[in-house]
Amino acid sequence: MTGVILNNVVKRFGDVQVIHGVDLEIEDGEFCVFVGPSGCGKSTLLRMVAGLEETTEGTVVIGARDVTRMDPSERGVAMVFQTYALYPHMTVAENMGFGLKMTGHPKETIREKVAEASRILKLDPYLDRRPKALSGGQRQRVAIGRAIVRGPEVFLFDEPLSNLDAELRVEMRVEIARLHREIGATMIYVTHDQTEAMTLANKIVVLRDGRIEQVGRPMDLYRDPDNKFVGGFIGSPSMNFLAGTVGAGHVSVPGLGRDLTVSVNLPEAGRAVNVGLRPEHLTLDPNGESHVVELTEALGGVSYAHLVAPSGERLIVEERGDFRTDAGARVGVDVPLDKTFLFDAQTDLRLR
Ligand SMILES: Nc1ncnc2c1ncn2[C@@H]1O[C@H](COP(=O)(O)OP(=O)(O)OP(=O)(O)O)[C@@H](O)[C@H]1O
Ligand SMILES: [Mg+2]
């Protein structure tokens, strides 16, 4: 069993506290993804698991061992960074085997492990090349291969794909998913990328300012966010938010030009709320005229209509195909009541 448990971990750099007591349980074999805005502490938390940053308070447990004060090399983890950090003068095979060589493993063992990693990552044709003769994607595969060769119980990835172009990212994302299926090891993966988080994770951890906002399976976070931050962070394009006021059994939403009767426990009348509407749940009504089309973007499979609401607020509607309305046209917006989220405007907490 090599799950990872963080017990109330805190990180301070001098006087500055950047991780504020995080509790988290990652199960054996799970693919756990950390997401959150830049500077929220994703890398710091990952480096605390790796042992590359000292944990100021709390404990880090890997498997059954408290590793809080252990060296990185004793923790049974291997980390893959955004910058591949390969040795330029070594071949692919030497780069992958270097860690084992340093720890005095016999040549034959190293050769076998490198061959195995090379098979998994389809690196056989490149084993004798040096890194500079490889593409970005191939270099990142070598960096991942180096981690595999070490046979860690836990793989740690810090934005491993962000230096790659869009097409290669998709390819590598699929490879990492395959790698996880094949090896079955626990993986913790930091990313900015929505799609990577949604598709790779068994469990997503949404972080903000050094605290966990919500933990859950990707589709649970998407369907059932606990607060406005998670609602806006998960999903692309982001959830639209329109200001609303609670009335008697309904919410009046100037940005829609009407009242919504939603099936949630409404607080007292007069209370300010934010109404969350995902672009993909809204549809344009060509016969309506409450909203003005400011701009449309056709991406091929889908199109986005950017609208200005009667309140002056802006919102995006996603349509299948290449629906195109001229800028300046007036349209209505259809809202599915069962997919409407309400958030308290003061606490940002979800009203259910
Ligand atoms: N060595 C350090 N000394 C002081 N502050 C640091 C140090 N390393 C990180 N920080 C601060 O800790 C916070 C979290 O940084 P971290 O690198 O973990 O963010 P991140 O979520 O990985 O961001 P990004 O998405 O930009 O990589 C930031 O405010 C950062 O400035
Ligand atoms: Mg980072």
Instruction: Choose the residue to mutate in 40, 189, 196 for probing ligand 1, maximizing ligand atoms within 8 Å of C-beta.
Output: 40
CA of 36 to the centre of ligand 1 (A): 12
Same domain, 223 and 336: no
Same domain, 214 and 241: no
Number of domains, the chain: 2
Task: Kindly report the protein residue whose alpha carbon is nearest to atom 8 of ligand 1.
Answer: 44
CA angle 103/104/107 to nearest 5° reads: 125
CATH code of the domain containing 249: 2.40.50.140
The average pLDDT across 1-26 equals: 96
Same domain, 341 and 228: no
Which ligand has the minimum distance to the alpha carbon of residue 211?
A: 1
At residue 280, the pLDDT reads 97
Same domain, 133 and 212: yes
- Over the stretch 107-152, which tens digit does the pLDDT of each residue have? 999 999 999 999 988 899 999 999 999 998 899 999 999 999 999 9
Same domain, 248 and 176: no
**Predicted confidence (pLDDT) at residue 323 exceeds the cutoff of 80:** no
What percentage of the chain reaches a pLDDT higher than 70?
100
Closest by alpha carbon to 56, among 20, 24, 26, 25? 20
At residue 1, the pLDDT reads 66
Distances (CA, A) of 176 to 114, 143, 179, 294: 18, 12, 5, 40
Q: Mean pLDDT in the chain? A: 94
* pTM listed for this prediction: 0.94
CA angle 202/203/206 to nearest 5° reads: 150
What whole-number distance in Å separates Cα of residue 188 and Cα of residue 322?
38
Which ligand has the minimum distance to the alpha carbon of residue 36?
A: 1
Banded model confidence at residue 38, pLDDT cuts 50, 70, 90: very high
Residue 252 backbone dihedrals phi, psi, to 5 degrees: -90, 130
CA of 43 to the centre of ligand 1 (A): 7
The last residue of one of the domains, among 209, 232, 255, is 232
CA 89 to chain centre: 34
The DSSP secondary-structure symbol of 227 reads: B
What whole-number distance in Å separates Cα of residue 76 and Cα of residue 87?
22
Give ligand 1 pocket residues (Cβ under 6 A): 13, 16, 18, 36, 38-44, 192
Whether the Cβ atoms of residue 203 and residue 236 lie closer than 8 Å to each other: no
Banded model confidence at residue 284, pLDDT cuts 50, 70, 90: very high
Tokens at 292, concatenated: 């003005």
Same domain, 99 and 218: yes
Same domain, 94 and 57: yes
- Show the domain range for 210: 4-232
At residue 165, the pLDDT reads 84
What whole-number distance in Å separates Cα of residue 159 and Cα of residue 200?
13
Whether the Cβ atoms of residue 22 and residue 8 lie closer than 8 Å to each other: yes
- Over the stretch 81-105, which tens digit does the pLDDT of each residue have? 888 889 999 999 999 999 999 989 9
DSSP 3-state of 171: helix
At residue 84, the pLDDT reads 84
**Predicted confidence (pLDDT) at residue 163 exceeds the cutoff of 90:** no
CA of 336 to the centre of ligand 2 (A): 37
